[in-house]
Structure 1
Amino acid sequence: MNTYIYMVRHGESLKTEGNERTRGLTDKGKTDAHIIAELLKDEGINTFVSSPYSRASLTIENLAHSLGKEIVVFEDLREIDFSSDDKILDDKEVYPAVRKMFADPDFSLPGGESITTCQKRSITTLKQILREYKGQKVVLGTHGAVMTLMMGYFDSQYDLDFLFKTSKPDIYRMEFDGEVLRETKRLWQG
Structure 2
Amino acid sequence: MKLYIIRHCEAEGQAPEAMLTAAGLEARKRLANFLIPYHIEQVISSPYKRAIQTIETFVQENGIPFKMDERLKERILSSENLTDWLEKLQQTYIDQDLKFDGGESSNEAVNRMIELVNELRQGNNSSVAIVTHGNIMSLLINHYNGDFGFNEWKQLSNPDVYEIDFYKEIKVSRIWGSEIEFI
TM-score normalised by L of structure 1: 0.85
Instruction: Identify the residue that residue 52 of structure 2 maps to in structure 1.
Output: 57
Number of residues of Structure 1 aligned to a counterpart in Structure 2: 179
Percent identity between the aligned chains?
Answer: 25
1:88-143 CA distance string (max 9 Å, x none):
x69x6542231122122122221111111101111111111221244x21111011
CA distance in 1, matches of 2:90, 2:35: 32
**Which of 72, 78, 85 is matched with 1:77 structurally?**
72
- Distance in 1, matches of 2:135 and 2:124, equals 24
Which of 132, 135, 138 aligns to 2:128? It is: 138
1:186 to 165, 175, 181: 175
Q: Is the 8 A contact 2:75 2:136 kept in 1?
A: yes
Task: Give runs of aligned pairs for residues 67-146 of structure 1, distance below 5 A.
Answer: 67-84=62-79, 93-134=84-125, 136-146=126-136
Question: Quick one: distance in 2 between partners of 1:182 and 1:104?
Answer: 25
Q: Confirm or deny that 1:47 pairs with 2:37.
A: no
RMSD: 2.1
Q: Distance in 1 between matches of 2:120 and 2:84?
A: 32
Shift of the alpha carbon at 1:59? Answer: 0.8
The separation in 2 between residues aligned to 1:43 and 1:164, in whole angstroms, is 26
Q: Which runs of 5+ in 1 are unaligned?
A: none
Normalising by structure 2, we get a TM-score of 0.88
Structure 1 letter corresponding to 2:106: I
Which amino acid in structure 1 is aligned with residue 142 of structure 2? Answer: G
Q: Choose the corresponding residue for 2:159, options 169, 172, 177.
A: 169
Residues in 2 aligned to 1:20 and 1:133: alpha-carbon distance in whole angstroms: 34
Query: Is the CA contact (8 Å cut-off) linking 2:12 and 2:18 kept in structure 1?
Result: yes
